[in-house]
Structure 1
Amino acid sequence: MSQLLAEDHDPLRAQHKYTHLYTDLLRTVRELGLLRRRRGYYFTRIGLVLAAFAGVWVGVGLLGNSWFQLLMAGALALVLTQVAFLSHDSAHRQVFDSAAWNDWTARLLAGGLVGMSAAWWKSKHSRHHGAPNQLGKDPDIAIGVVAFTPEHVNRRKGFQAWLTRRQGWLFFPLLTLEGLSLYVSSIQHLFRRGASTVDRIEAAIVVTRLGGYLAVLLLLLPIGKAGAFLGLQLALFGVCLGGSFAPNHKGMPLVPKTMKLDFLRRQVLMSRNVRGGVLTDFAMGGLNYQIEHHLFPSMPRPTLRKVQPIVREYCELHGIKYTEVGLFTSYKIVVGYLNNVGLRARDPFDCPLASQYGR
């Protein structure tokens, strides 16, 4: 008993214990073959998405000068969301054994079909995976249109302050601008000073795709209908993509900038799973298994459902809180969290480990 008490009060020994816990979990998952590639799944998925993308444009051509084109704009947004999920999976090296094949698949899907930079996204997303919800390290909670901490709130004046006080209720309307934001950030990254040769190739792919998209719309439709098509597609794409990422970490504990955490707790305690069936898996691109995805980033998407019971039981066995809620509950938490920060300018959540291991 005295040995256990000493371990509970020794941060270094506790960290060592949790490090071994993740190693043991990883070994079990690997031995069960759950990290094996699922090429058949991904080849089928990519083929279906390419067919759907082509089908949308055939529909656009057949409809001609009609307001029913807005239905095609909505369909295109849904297809592009699925393309973005596949690019995400490939960037995480879930598809091929070869890093180069994964990277170029991600670039061609993101740049050639969606029109955004996979390189920019991968850089940002890798930093997020390395320190989810950690202040000063996770770019997903950096200061921007939405404020995630009282410190961000206190910097704002005038219209920005007015917006921040209402940011929870405005969160989903603001997601309609997320698609446009992705395109702007991609262009800024690809045309930055000191861009690499690969960046220039990707820039050519992205510019060709965006320019071709606008040209086709203006050739087929009057400028008013073309603008409505583009606006609806961007808005719905932003809501679909942003709505898939938002429930995963928003409203989970924020980690102080200088706090040290082992990999297992860093990924589990700051992530939230979303319950649901096949439809939820499809709509969220497997990101509803966020805990498993963060623990095993290169695990193929269809395997996440299989490994979930193992991870959940393992966390319960070792006293690590495993969070899973329904989709609408997750959105309610996100809205409440953002309103709590914006209206009261205080931390609605503290990292549960801060008091135990210090800041």
Structure 2
Amino acid sequence: MPPTLSATAVRGSEFTPLLQRVRAEGLLERRTGWYARSIALNLLLTAAVWTGVVLLGGSWWVLALALPAAVLGGRTAFLGHDAGHQQIAASRRVNRVLGLVHGNLLLGMSVGWWTDKHNRHHANPNHVDKDPDVGVGAFVWTQRQAAQRAGLARWLTRHQAGLFFPMLLLEGVALKVSSLQDLRRQSGRERLVEGALLVAHLAGYATLLLLAMDPLQALAFAALHHALFGLHLGSAFAPNHKGMEMPDPDGEDRWGHLRRQVLTSRNVRGGLLTDFFLGGLNYQIDHHLFPSMPRPNLRAAQPLIRAHCAAAGLPYAETGLIESYRQGLRHLHQVGLAASR
């Protein structure tokens, strides 16, 4: 039987003893060597794939390279995610530069837009009034949201479980559109830097494809590449919170940091392949509790966090990848039923 938290810890902070233990184990210390190797390898492989695109540009076989380009794009996005959380370097400036390179320049995705949105998600996960990831959009996440839909949106809501993965094929383009739209929110130097890098990405991407292949092939490659990238990235984020607890927006939130992050998150079991495919987001509970913890330390921190949750009487939700999708889709289906009434 795991030890229970002392009355003092419960009255104070359930999270503080865990923070002290994790810090004492050195799990919050930067892993610059690991990240340097990961960034270098990702850039090398990305360059190799795009060299292949140029060499095969005269053949329709070039479409086969859209898959590795999308997978490596996912690795790039995960590195940008880590930079946004200050996981890579001790300097905020260095992390900012890494985020701009991996997000704006290499992917055409604004790091400023993503960081603002993602930080609000981390502060209040699954809260319909505070978490932008569960706001009303292409999908809805509560029966109250579903009941308010009308017309085509209502039809989409009724069928949202079945449409979820097909609609992820549009996510790669949607990320670029949202990034460009967010420039209106930004101001001064931020808008200038982010806008210039977004334009450089779009111009470089289009130029490379049009120089390597004819316009029809270029359009087909770009469509397939963005569809696979959106599907991959969306599939990595999908298991994390869908179908988990959602704080009552009309009630007083009495959850502390530990409960707010643990009860709304789900981990995905697996080995190195799962770590690779999900970019460390499979340790979602652990990441939400310690967002600045370097990705390679999450696996080592997991046993400490699981034991602490058991001592606090909190469920540590963990399931396989397929089951995580099943639970998320079941939640979308149940919510969508409200639009059928």
Note whether the superposition's TM-score is higher than 0.5: yes
The Cα shift of 1:194 comes to 5.4
Aligned mates of 1:87, 1:320 — CA distance in 2: 31
Aligned mates of 1:140, 1:18 — CA distance in 2: 31
The Cα shift of 1:44 comes to 0.2
1:275 aligns to what?
Answer: 269
CA contact (8 A) 2:82 2:295 kept: yes
Structure 1 residues 338 and 278, CA gap change in structure 2 (3 angstroms): same
Aligned mates of 2:211, 2:148 — CA distance in 1: 46
Aligned mates of 2:260, 2:299 — CA distance in 1: 21
Correspondence 1:207 to 2:199: yes
2:243 match: secondary structure: coil
The Cα shift of 1:193 comes to 5.5
1:33 aligns to what?
Answer: 26
CA contact (8 A) 2:71 2:232 kept: yes
| 2:279 corresponds to which of 280, 285, 291 | 285
Aligned mates of 2:246, 2:271 — CA distance in 1: 29
1:34 match: secondary structure: coil
| 1:251 corresponds to which of 243, 256, 268 | 243
CA contact (8 A) 1:19 1:263 kept: no
1:303 aligns to what?
Answer: 297
- Structure ranking higher on relative contact order (CA contacts 8 Å, 6+ apart): 2
CA contact (8 A) 1:22 1:263 kept: yes
Where does structure 1 differ by over 4 angstroms across 4 or more consecutive aligned residues?
Answer: none
Aligned mates of 1:259, 1:185 — CA distance in 2: 32
1:8 aligns to what?
Answer: none
1:229 aligns to what?
Answer: 221
Identity %: 48
The Cα shift of 1:317 comes to 1.5
| 1:164 corresponds to which of 150, 157, 161 | 157
| 1:82 corresponds to which of 63, 75, 82 | 75
Aligned mates of 1:259, 1:84 — CA distance in 2: 35
For 1:45-72, what per-residue CA distance to the aligned partner results, in whole angstroms no more than 9, with x for missing partners?
A: 0000100111011101111211111111
For 1:188-222, what per-residue CA distance to the aligned partner results, in whole angstroms no more than 9, with x for missing partners?
A: 112x0652312211110111111110122122212
1:163 match: secondary structure: helix
1:350 aligns to what?
Answer: none
Aligned mates of 2:11, 2:56 — CA distance in 1: 59
The Cα shift of 1:344 comes to 3.5
CA contact (8 A) 1:19 1:262 kept: no
For 1:248-274, what per-residue CA distance to the aligned partner results, in whole angstroms no more than 9, with x for missing partners?
A: 001001111243221000000000000
CA contact (8 A) 2:146 2:338 kept: no
Q: Which runs of 5+ in 2 are unaligned?
A: 1-6
| 1:329 corresponds to which of 300, 314, 323 | 323
For 1:60-111, what per-residue CA distance to the aligned partner results, in whole angstroms no more than 9, with x for missing partners?
A: 1111211111111111111111000000001100111111111111111111
State the aligned residue count: 332
Structure 1 residues 103 and 329, CA gap change in structure 2 (3 angstroms): same
Aligned mates of 1:28, 1:244 — CA distance in 2: 29
How does the TM-score come out when normalised to structure 2?
0.94
Greater mean deviation of Cα atoms: 106-115 or 137-146 = 106-115
RMSD: 1.5
Equivalent AA in structure 2 for residue 204 of structure 1: A
Aligned mates of 2:70, 2:141 — CA distance in 1: 28
| 2:115 corresponds to which of 113, 122, 125 | 122
Aligned mates of 2:162, 2:336 — CA distance in 1: 10
1:219 aligns to what?
Answer: 211
CA contact (8 A) 2:147 2:338 kept: no
1:59 aligns to what?
Answer: 52
| 1:239 corresponds to which of 222, 225, 231 | 231
2:90 aligns to what?
Answer: 97
Correspondence 1:338 to 2:332: yes
Aligned mates of 2:232, 2:64 — CA distance in 1: 16
| 2:288 corresponds to which of 286, 294, 297 | 294
Q: Which runs of 5+ in 1 are unaligned?
A: 1-12, 347-359
Greater mean deviation of Cα atoms: 253-262 or 309-318 = 253-262
CA contact (8 A) 1:18 1:262 kept: no
For 1:225-247, what per-residue CA distance to the aligned partner results, in whole angstroms no more than 9, with x for missing partners?
A: 11110011111101111111110
Structure 1 residues 149 and 35, CA gap change in structure 2 (3 angstroms): same
Correspondence 1:132 to 2:125: yes
CA contact (8 A) 2:161 2:329 kept: yes
Correspondence 1:264 to 2:247: no
How does the TM-score come out when normalised to structure 1?
0.90
The Cα shift of 1:19 comes to 4.7
1:6 aligns to what?
Answer: none
2:14 match: secondary structure: helix
CA contact (8 A) 2:13 2:256 kept: no
